[in-house]
Amino acid sequence: MQLSATSQYAIRILVYMAGEKDSQSINAAELAETLLIPYKFLAKIMTSLVKVGLVESTRGKEGGYKLKKKASDIMVGDILDAFHESIKDEQCILGIGFCNGLCKCALHDQWMEPKFLLQKMFRESSLEDIAGRGCKR
Amino acid sequence: MQLSATSQYAIRILVYMAGEKDSQSINAAELAETLLIPYKFLAKIMTSLVKVGLVESTRGKEGGYKLKKKASDIMVGDILDAFHESIKDEQCILGIGFCNGLCKCALHDQWMEPKFLLQKMFRESSLEDIAGRGCKR
DNA sequence: TGCAATTACTACTTCAAGGTAGAATTTAAA
DNA sequence: TTTAAATTCTACCTTGAAGTAGTAATTGCA
Ligand code: SF4
Ligand code: SF4
């Protein structure tokens, strides 16, 4: 019952980038070192984030990564989407599927509420909301 | 962001057993067939449930499985515990760890609430509460 | 131009979860 | 006592996520 390592890394990376001076690019080595993420794995994640349009990259000397949108416009949910890990409305806690209220087991209603809160949290929390506070890793 | 297949299977198995006539044992073949769980994998799960004391088994002809406690005394959380998948208080949504309120990022407080609801749901839902309603699989 | 720094690509390895196969063990009943 | 039905054990296979390695492509700068 937790996010994949990939998603967790991605969130931490983008939050860190949002906390840095704008219009200044950060390279993979610095990210890997300060965030304690394996360099090569981070590089792979960064490429995904570039492909999905959350980050822009410049190669070569003086190159690196920059957020492609304002930190206030990147939601945690966008990041989870990139790795197909956002929570769907029909997701069932027992993995059965989508009774959609027709046949409700006792867990159904109880799962609705935390599920909704998680969706809301992911949908409404932007990088700006998170950056600058809490754990710096 | 979901339970492991093993835990989901285990919950469904025990809920089904709770819905059957008491003091009557059910064998692995029937469980596998009605719940659409691979037979051999189910057998493995059952052995775990026996070892952890939620189920008792009798081997040989006429054998099978029975709940070891009343359905109202087996909580979903007990099942998750058996597979080390219950949600710890200090579980962090970013996998960093346990800031314990000292350094709170913006996700910290928002994660607290759904986490609490999930813990409550797992802790307070018994098999009896679930059995007999909803999807029969 | 050439070099060094950087991301991107391709392919592999490792690890854990999920799943399978077959034989050993136990038991009730014929 | 034999046999068939059942669980249990041990060992393996498969799949996907996590992580690694090496090289190609790109770019700024000396
Ligand atoms: S009724 Fe229960 S099993 Fe069916 S979708 Fe809802 S939570 Fe899942
Ligand atoms: S402050 Fe944020 S990163 Fe730290 S434990 Fe809480 S949720 Fe996790």
Tens digits of residue pLDDT in B27-74: 999 999 999 999 999 999 999 999 999 999 999 999 999 999 999 999
Distance CA A13, CA A57 (A): 14
The integer distance in angstroms from the CA atom of B40 to the C1' atom of C25 is 17
What does the pLDDT read at residue B134?
57
Cβ atoms B9, B48 nearer than 8 A: no
Give Cα separations from B112 to A37, B115, B116 (angstroms): 25, 5, 6
Ligand closest to CA A135? 2
pLDDT of A73 higher than 90: yes
CB neighbours of residue B97 within 10 Å: 11
Using CB atoms, which residue from A103, A113, A134 is nearest to B117? A113
Phi, psi of A49 (to 5 degrees): -65, -35
What does the pLDDT read at residue A137?
47
Q: Which is more confident, A50 or A106?
A: A50
Domain boundaries in chain A?
5-130
pLDDT of B103 higher than 80: no
Q: Which residue, among B23, B1, B27, B3, has the nearest Cα to B13 in the 3D structure?
A: B27
What number of residues does chain B have? 137
- pLDDT mean across residues, chain A: 89
Top CATH class of A5-130 equals: mainly alpha
Does B125 sit within 8 Å of A106, measured CB to CB? yes
What SS3 class is residue B55? strand
Q: Which residue, among A71, A67, A34, A50, has the nearest Cα to B106 in the 3D structure?
A: A71
pLDDT-based confidence at B81, cuts 50/70/90? very high
What does the pLDDT read at residue B59?
97
What SS3 class is residue B31? helix
pLDDT-based confidence at B102, cuts 50/70/90? low
What does the pLDDT read at residue A101?
57
- Find, in chain A, the residue whose alpha carbon is nearest to that of B76: A107
End-to-end CA separation in angstroms for chain B: 22
